[in-house]
Every structure is written in C-alpha cells, then in structure tokens.
Chain A
Amino acid sequence: MAAAETVTTAAPLRSNRRKVARRILHNPLAITGLVVLVIAIVLAVFAPWLAPHEPTQTHLDRAFAPPGTAGYLLGTDDLGRDVLSRIMFGLRASLHVALLAVATSLVIGVPLGLMAGYFRAIDALISRFTDLVLAFPFLILAVGLAAIRGASLGNAAIAIGIAQIPGMIRIVRSETLRLKSLDFVAAAIVEGAGDPWVLGRHILPNAASVIIVQTTVALPAAILGEAVLSFLGLGIQPPAPSLGTMLADAQQFASRAPWAAVMPGVAIMLLTLAFNIVGDSLRDALDPKASRR
C-alpha cells in the first residue's frame, strides 16, 4: 500500500489530470451535478440581466400569485415580489458569501496546515488554535460576531470562513505529514533545498488534490451556513434577496402561499446537492482506490 501510494503521489499531478477528467466525464451522475452547477452559476452571475423582474420591487396588487401566473413562473410572495427573480438574486448572494468564506478558510488554513505538518515546533501551537476555534460552534461564533460587528453579508462570510479554518488546517496538516515522509521530499531536502522551496514546490502541488476535495466539501457547507444565518436574521439584511431571508419571510404566510416557502429551499438543496455530487465524484476520481471499496 505504501509503495503504491509513493508512485501515484510522486508522479507529477499534471499527468493525472487527463485521467481524472476522463473518469468524471464517464460518470453520468457527476455530469448531471456539473450541469446543475453551471446553470446555477449562470443564473446567479447574470441575474441582473436574466431576472424577469426587479427582485425588491413590490406590487401589492399582485401579492400571492400562484406559480404559473403570466409573467411569474414561480409565483409571487406576500408583497407581490417575483419569487423566481428573488431566487436568482438569492443564488448570487449565496455563491458570493460561499466564495468569500471558502477563500478566507483557504488563505488562512492552507499555510497554517502546511506549517503545522512540516515544522514540528509549531504543530502544538497551531493545534491549540484549531481546538480553540472548534470550541465555538459555527452558529455561536456567528452570533458573537453579529453581536460585536452587526449582521451583514461580509460578517456572515467571515464567521463561516473562520468556522471552516480548523477543517482545512487538519486536512492539509495530515497530507503534509504524509508527503514529508516520502522519498522524493527527503531527496529534495538532502539535495539542500530550503524549507520554503520544499513546501512550495514539492508539498503544496502534491497536496492540491486533497485541498480541492476539501474545498468541494466546504462550498456547500458555506451555502447552507449562509442560508441559516440569513434565516435567523444574522446574515444578509432585508430587503436584499437571500434564499435564507426568503424562507424566513415565507414562514409567516406559508399556508397561504406554500410555493414561496418551497421554492427557495428547493433551490438551496439543488445547489448543495450538485456541489456534493461533484465533490464526491472528484474525490473518487482522484482516489480510485476509495471508490472501489
């Protein structure tokens, strides 16, 4: 097992890329997930041009229009706002927060993980830091941050990002520990390569696959996190559309206009499901041994 692993990881990542792409393209479930993702991203990015209505425009005379009403494919809410347009802008907000949050966890988590795995001396220090962050469950962290700095899109992203740092550190740390014990890294060190060179040229590129997989786990988690925070009123503030605030609003008139409560949830689920499916297939494609089990 150890020998086989040495061969696969010591080989340059680039030669594996085509194999990984082929494995994903031969998996119908993964392609479905990718298609859903691409549609969601297009709807979100081009929402200002694609949305049939202004997402915050109220038309009290058109309140509670059921799905299928002319011009309102998914119906309207209690203020006559178009549910479809609000979902498109909500997707935009979800992806915005998720990308910010995951970028935060990457920028802080990857270097700390590399250092913790490579330098024994600071491993304990970084481990205490991860324990500390983990001691504050995500929502408690967000609650504290909202109390100190106020509820907003940016603060929601920071809270989610901070909560995801420990996971990123742990994954990168254990991969670094594993790579460090392999012959090609030892060879580089013997040849006199400095620590930054070894970390940047040998360990980071080979740890890329686990970082990518962890990112695909973190993105849907961040999307769910944003929805929860906005639902509680700790994230994006109304009237700005967010899938979470839409659900919080819809809760009050759910029996009168169930579509306003059903649709945003379906949108969140499809988005996270697509991310999870693509992430799972990517993990299997990068590590065929795991999928054969």
Chain B
Amino acid sequence: MRRYLLNRLWQSVVTLVLATIVVFAGVRALPGDPALALAGEERDPESLRAIREQYGLDQSWLVQFWQFVSHAARGDLGQSIRTGEPVRTMIATALPVTVELSVLAILIASVIGVGAGVVAAVRRGRPAEWAANALALVGLSVPHFWLGLMAILYLSVALGLFPASGFVPFFTNPIDNLHHLILPAVILGTGLAAVIMRQTRSSMLDALSADYIRTAEAKGLAPRAVIGRHALRNSLIVVVTIVGLQLGALISGAVVTERIFALPGFGKLTVDAVFQRDYPVIQAVVLVTATAYIGINLLVDLLYSVIDPRIRVRGDA
C-alpha cells in the first residue's frame, strides 16, 4: 500500500513538473516578442523596456523558468494586462463558482445515473431498461451547450421557472444561489449521468450474477436487501472511477456552461482572457487547471484504492 502511494505521488510530481514546463514554453511560443504581447496597446520603447524588466524577459530562459516557478509556488501569478488586478485575486473570486457548479453537477449526475443504472439492471428486458438505455444514449449524444440554450429558451424565458443568467454568492443568499445554479448543474451533469448509468448497469449485472449474491439469496435474504447493499457499495466505486475519468470533460463542460448561463466562474475568466489576449491570465489559468486536475486525479486514485482493496493489490491501476 505504501509503495503504491509513493509511486502514485511520484508520478503526479513528474507530470506536474512536465506540465509546468509545457505552460512556460507555451507562453514563449507565442508569435513575436512576448513583451509586445504583454504591452498590449502601449508599445513605446520605454514601456517595453519596463515590461521586459518587470517580467524578467531580459534574463536567460533558465532564470526566467526559475522565477516563474518560484513566483507561482508562492501564489504570485502576475497581473492581468487588461485590468492590472493580481491574477490570484481574479482566480480566487472565480474558482468557488466553478467548484460549486461542478460539485452540484456531480451530485445530481450520481443520483440520476446510479438510480437509472440500478433500475436498468434489476428490470432487465423490461420497458424500464429500454427507457434508461435510451436516455443514456441521448445523454451521451446531446450537445450540452445546446441543451443549456434550450433550457434558457423554454424553462427560463418562456416559463420563468429559473433565472436565465447571473449568480448570487452562497453566503449572500443560499436559496437564491441554488436557484441560479440548479439549471446549469443539471445541464453540466447530463453527460456524466449517462456514463455513470451505463457503468452502474454493467457492474450491477456482473454483481447480480456473482456467486456470493446467489449465496445471499439462498440464505433467504430479501432481494431488496441484496440489491441495496451491493448496489450501494458498487455504485460508490463506479462514481469515484467515472468522476476521475471524466474530470477533464467536466472542467471543459463547466467552461461552456458558465458561458451560456453567464456565470462569473473560472470558465468565463478563461474564455475572456483568450479573447482579450490577456497572457498572464491565460498562463495562470492553464497552470492552475493542470495542477488541480493532477491533484484531484491523485485524490481519486487514493480514494479508489481505499474503497476497493483489489486495486492496491494489483498496484498497476
């Protein structure tokens, strides 16, 4: 177990270092002089020189890389070219919105996905299975951002059930906050729910045909108790696995969902930064995302090995 943990931790550190190098090199791969890009509108020689000095662009690449890493490690991610605001503050305001949206989406997707998956497995060959399978197929195929547009058009604008856009912080008004986030979270969760449903169904079918289930039934345990216990245990593994595998898709999905519902989150920050050519923000956003992704994946793997001991015995997952 300890060896597995150390190995996994080491792999994450290597990936993180490589990712940092890629981000650093990516910004240097920008066409033309980075100082010109960083200067934006003010292109007189005086401000260019000031920018070169400020960002250490007159130093060697190695020194620049070291400065980039040491500043980032201290949480100093530079300043926005557009607003002059520290990038750290911008991220600190945007991130909670995205985290809340994603957590809500995972919760909703888990409930719907596990529920539909269990129903599909237990009601094999009946209409309920067909309905659940069809729903999963549509959930995988539908473009979420279009579903979002349709929800705004028909549920928010036409029926007035939900606010079409905007955001209220949780601590200002929790009810209003959830009212604004519930629709985006459902939209973001549809694809995830479909994947969870399919996996739950097939792992339930495996479990239902296993010998220990037959033993439990032979012992006289009620079918409901058998399904309940094993569904619960299995679905936990399924959800953790899928969330780990789908994390990238979830982050990408959150960017688009925020754009549609005009939520002031990480995704909006990212897209705005690209259109405004705000390079320090782009660099920081990519680095923070990669770090978070690597960190959460490590966490998922560890969680996974705690829930399912078979994983750490094999050790190569």
Contacts and interface: CB of A to CB of B under 8 A. Distances in A.
B153 A254 contact: yes
A132 B297 CA distance: 12
A194 to B, nearest CB: 28
A227 B251 CA distance: 17
B248 A137 contact: yes
A262 to B, nearest CB: 7
B181 to A, nearest CB: 20
A128, A140, A293: residue with the most chain B Cβ atoms closer than 10 Å: A140
A131 B244 CA distance: 13
Grouping DSSP codes into helix (H, G, I), strand (E, B) and loop, the A interface class, with mixed when no group exceeds half, is helix
B145 A228 contact: yes
B289 A140 contact: yes
Contact of A276 (B141, B248, B290): B141
Grouping DSSP codes into helix (H, G, I), strand (E, B) and loop, the B interface class, with mixed when no group exceeds half, is helix
Contact of B149 (A134, A148, A251): A251
B246 to A, nearest CB: 10
A228 B252 contact: yes
Given A139-B255, A140-B285, A247 B157 contact: no
Contacts of A205: none
Contacts of B277: 147
Given A147-B277, A247-B149, A139 B252 contact: yes
Nearest to B16: A135
B26 interface: yes
B15 interface: yes
Nearest to A217: B140
A261 B251 contact: no
A132 to B, nearest CB: 5
B15 A137 contact: no
Contact of A140 (B15, B137, B138, B286): B286
Interface stretch (B44-52, B60-68, B80-88, B267-275): B267-275
A276 B137 contact: yes
Interface residues of B, number: 52
A234 interface: yes
B309 to A, nearest CB: 22
B29 interface: yes
A220 B11 CA distance: 31
A39 B277 CA distance: 41
Nearest to B256: A228
Contacts of A227: 143, 145-146
B270 to A, nearest CB: 6
A258 B153 contact: yes
Nearest to B37: A147
A268 interface: yes
Contacts of A146: 274
B247 A147 contact: no
A228 B274 contact: no
Interface in B81-107: none
Interface residues of A, number: 44
A128 to B, nearest CB: 6
B73 interface: no
Given A140-B252, A148-B26, A268 B146 contact: yes
A132 B289 contact: no
A148 B146 contact: no
Contact of B141 (A220, A228, A255, A262): A220
Interface in A225-260: 227-228, 231-234, 247, 250-251, 254-255, 258
Contacts of B206: 293
Interface string B1-41: 00000000001001110110010001001110000000000
A137 B252 CA distance: 6
Contacts of A255: 153, 157-158
Contacts of B167: none
B19 A132 contact: yes
Interface string B133-158: 00001101111011101101100011
Nearest to A290: B202
B279 interface: yes
Nearest to B124: A293
B124 to A, nearest CB: 10
A95 to B, nearest CB: 15
Interface string A118-135: 000000000010011011
Interface of B: 11, 14-16, 18-19, 22, 26, 29-31, 137-138, 140-143, 145-147, 149-150, 152-153, 157-158, 202, 205-206, 247-249, 251-252, 255-256, 259-260, 270-271, 274-275, 277, 279, 282, 285-286, 289-290, 293-294, 297
Interface of A: 128, 131-132, 134-140, 143-144, 146-149, 163, 220, 224, 227-228, 231-234, 247, 250-251, 254-255, 258, 261-262, 264-265, 268-269, 272-273, 275-277, 280, 293
5 contacts: A135-B16, A136-B293, A233-B275, A255-B158, A293-B206
Which 9 A-B pairs give the minimum distances between C-beta atoms? A265-B146, A139-B252, A137-B248, A273-B141, A272-B141, A137-B251, A135-B290, A131-B15, A135-B19
